[in-house]
Structure 1
Amino acid sequence: MTEPLPNPLLMTPENTLLLVIDMQEKLLPSIPESERIVWNARRLLDGAEILGIPALGTEQYRKGLGATVEPLAAKLGEMPDKLHFSSCQAIVAKLEELNRPKILIAGIEAHVCVQQTALDLLSLGYDVYLAADAVGSRFSYDQEIALRRMESTGVTLTTTEAALFEWCRAAGTPQFKQISQLVREEKP
């Protein structure tokens, strides 16, 4: 059986970077379904680790909003502390160094830091993907409008499970077995 031709619309372990934005201890309690959002971000980080996809994280005003929650902080390592809502200024050098054209975003808040980062990444020429079930806002209407705005400007909406299987591409590999275990985890 021949390998399918590479589809430029798909994320792969070779072309993608995972960005987790501002999943911080003092902000998450005010986000509806924050447990599910953290769970999905953690599964994305686990999948990225399994498949060798680099992951970056950011923290917004750490002094006021606290550190990134566990288990995400341990998986992300050192993160820049930023004051701008967009993460781009804090990570642009690392993005250039890693040279991945596609960026999958998870994080909070959808209508502030996530949206401004996504729009800045688009303007820098990146293909931006958003794991819609791994982002949140304090108010559902803000989140809904942010998702609609980002999608209308060129951000591709996806889900955690879809991204994990897209990264994996095929069944029957050791990595697929590990990804399948992540997908079968019981929701919190």
Structure 2
Amino acid sequence: MSTESENLPLTRSLELMSVGDTGLLVVDMQGKLLTMIAGHERVTWNCRRLVDGAKLLGIPVAGTEQYPQGLGPTTPVLAERIGPMPAKKLFSSRECAEIFYGWRDAGIYKVLVCGIEAHVCVQQTVLDLLSEGFRVYLAVDAIGSRGVLDAEVAVRRMDASGATITTTEAALFEWCETAANPQFKAISGLVKESAPA
């Protein structure tokens, strides 16, 4: 004979990102540096899909720009979706503390990070956010560096330091959570897009 509690669904893991507890941070996707990044078309495509998915699901999105006077503005495909972004001189996005204080005040304690460069601005941001008590997720197919080895070592270091390694597609479906979500079809459309050559 089943009990009433056996008919209830299991509790969703706190390891999973959810709408309402997660923000998306796009780090320094600026044109002058972006074209030098290994696989930059893939990195840009995946960052754009993450931004589009976050917007569909109501997840807050913020971006940063590293010394835009020298490195130029964020690539247009992302800038038009994200809107105004704070500039910074520190490599870490911790300089843009208003983003993270605002998210914390809104109950957002998980941050999915994407952008460039993996071993500099992304890595320093991830480590600082972990130090501040955020749960940090890293979309490894939406980050890059000029050197492939630099990116690989950075991912290993961030993983060892406590960041959760994930991918763009995994994050999109994690945010969506269920095929019953009204935005599931649109999220599926993002997942099914053809990758850049």
Note the alpha carbon deviations across 1:21-63, whole angstroms, 9 max, x for none. 0000100111011011000000000000010000000000101
Between 18-27 and 171-180, report the one with greater CA deviation: 171-180
List aligned pairs for 1:71-86, cutoff 5 A.
71-86=77-92
Instruction: Indicate yes or no: 2:42 matched with 1:52.
Output: no
Supply the distance in 2 between the matched residues of 1:3 and 1:165 (Cα, whole angstroms). 19
Pick one of 41, 54, 64 that aligns with 2:70: 64
2:102: which partner in 1?
97
Structure 1 portions without partners, runs of 5+: none
Structure 2 portions without partners, runs of 5+: 1-6
Supply the distance in 2 between the matched residues of 1:177 and 1:60 (Cα, whole angstroms). 35
Instruction: Indicate yes or no: 2:189 matched with 1:181.
Output: yes
Shift of residue 173 of structure 1? Answer: 2.7
1:147: which partner in 2?
155
Shift of residue 98 of structure 1? Answer: 2.1
2:135: which partner in 1?
127
Structure 1's consecutive aligned runs of 4 or more residues displaced over 3 angstroms after TM superposition are 1-4
Shift of residue 3 of structure 1? Answer: 4.3
Supply the distance in 1 between the matched residues of 2:126 and 2:114 (Cα, whole angstroms). 10
Note the alpha carbon deviations across 1:116-172, whole angstroms, 9 max, x for none. 000000000000000000000000010010000000000111000000000000113
Counterpart residue identity of residue 115, structure 2: G
Supply the distance in 2 between the matched residues of 1:4 and 1:48 (Cα, whole angstroms). 25
Supply the distance in 2 between the matched residues of 1:4 and 1:18 (Cα, whole angstroms). 27
Counterpart residue identity of residue 59, structure 2: I
Q: What RMSD in Å do the two structures reach over aligned CA positions? A: 1.0
Task: Work out which of the two has the higher radius of gyration on C-alpha atoms and give 1 or 2.
Answer: 2
SS of residue paired to 2:30: coil
Counterpart residue identity of residue 58, structure 2: G
Supply the distance in 2 between the matched residues of 1:32 and 1:140 (Cα, whole angstroms). 7
Aligned residue pair count: 187
Pick one of 17, 32, 39 that aligns with 1:11: 17
Q: TM-score, normalised by structure 1?
A: 0.97
Pick one of 30, 33, 37 that aligns with 1:31: 37
Supply the distance in 1 between the matched residues of 2:10 and 2:74 (Cα, whole angstroms). 39
Supply the distance in 2 between the matched residues of 1:135 and 1:94 (Cα, whole angstroms). 20
Counterpart residue identity of residue 89, structure 2: L
Pick one of 100, 114, 129 that aligns with 1:106: 114
Shift of residue 174 of structure 1? Answer: 2.2
